[in-house]
Amino acid sequence: MKIGFLFPGQGAQSVGMGKDLYDKYEEYRKVYSEVEKITGMKISDITFDSEENILSQTKNTQICILTMSLAILEILKKKNVEASFSCGLSLGEYTALIYSGLLSFEDGVKIVKKRGELMQELCPKGDWTMAAILGLDENSVIKACNDVTNGFVAPANFNCPGQIVISGEKEAVNIAMENAKNLGAKRAIELKTSGPFHTKMLKEASQELRKELDNIEINKFNTKVIKNIDGNEYKEGDDIKDILSKHIISPVKFEKSIRTMIDSGCDCFIEIGPGKTLSGFVKKINKDLNVYNINSVETLETTLEAINK
């Protein structure tokens, strides 16, 4: 069995996520304590006891999701569960890079905190939204966006067959949704997001993040990581800081990333962190794979039992 770890991104969060794991495992609580020391933020309070609108602020969401995923990894490390490959959706790529050893724990936490702040503070003014287009191929979704002549809209996430997310100005997104339906989309669903993520509209945040990346050290990979911007494996010699700065203005090629992992021999995928959206994407890409998710004590135990048979 060749295991691939998957790490979720913004949008998977919910108040109380991982609380049962926090209560049960000392190593889980230790990760929260370490992140809180590094960031000066009370991550446990924001995650377990705040209101949804507080947790869902980008500057809070990203660091809270990262912390939960890193804490679950610590439990898996103790259980001797390791992955040959890892991949994350958007923010989740940073979790993968920390797991791989490319980013140290401290540097990874610091840069994700800064990334969340920049994406919130430097989001351009406007009425922004994102929408999932279901049941339409890539070229048709691109056409649905390109045919919008008034306002900005562009594809942002190529998640799996039949699900592509578009991002932009609310009015332009609404027109693109209608265009997509006219081109044969089964459904077009507006998402609960407030920024034009993974588009050129976050150029200023991308430029500022590039400056912040100069403050962190890049190490060697201990495990393989698949990158969002092209769905290919990171290679030694890649300009990591340039890739990560472009990451927030480039579409996420998640389907391609999963196919790369499958082609490399991954036959078991474990989603680590809140929700189980990525598990659903993998099943739509290849229904014959072993796919698990860990976001609670119950799902942890179920996954460990299944992979240790």
Mean of the pLDDT values across residues 207-214?
A: 96
Confidence of residue 139 (pLDDT cuts 50, 70, 90): very high
Positions annotated as catalytic residues are 90, 198
- For residue 282, what pLDDT is reported? 97
CATH topology of domain 3-122+200-307: Malonyl-Coenzyme A Acyl Carrier Protein; domain 2 (3.40.366)
pTM (2 d.p.): 0.95
> Domain 128-191 is of which CATH architecture?
2-Layer Sandwich (3.30)
Contact at 8 Å (CB) between 247 and 239? no
Asked if residue 193 has pLDDT above 90, the reply is: no
For residue 88, what are the contacts with CB-CB under 8 A and spacing of at least 6?
Answer: 6, 7, 8, 9, 94, 95, 96, 228
In sequence order, what are the residues at sequence separation of 6 or more whose Cβ sits closer than 8 angstroms to the Cβ of residue 55? 13, 14, 15, 46, 47, 61, 64
* CA–CA dist 179, 176 (Å, integer): 5
Residue 308 has pLDDT above 90, yes or no: no
The residue extents of the domains of the chain are: 3-122+200-307, 128-191
32-51 mean pLDDT? 97
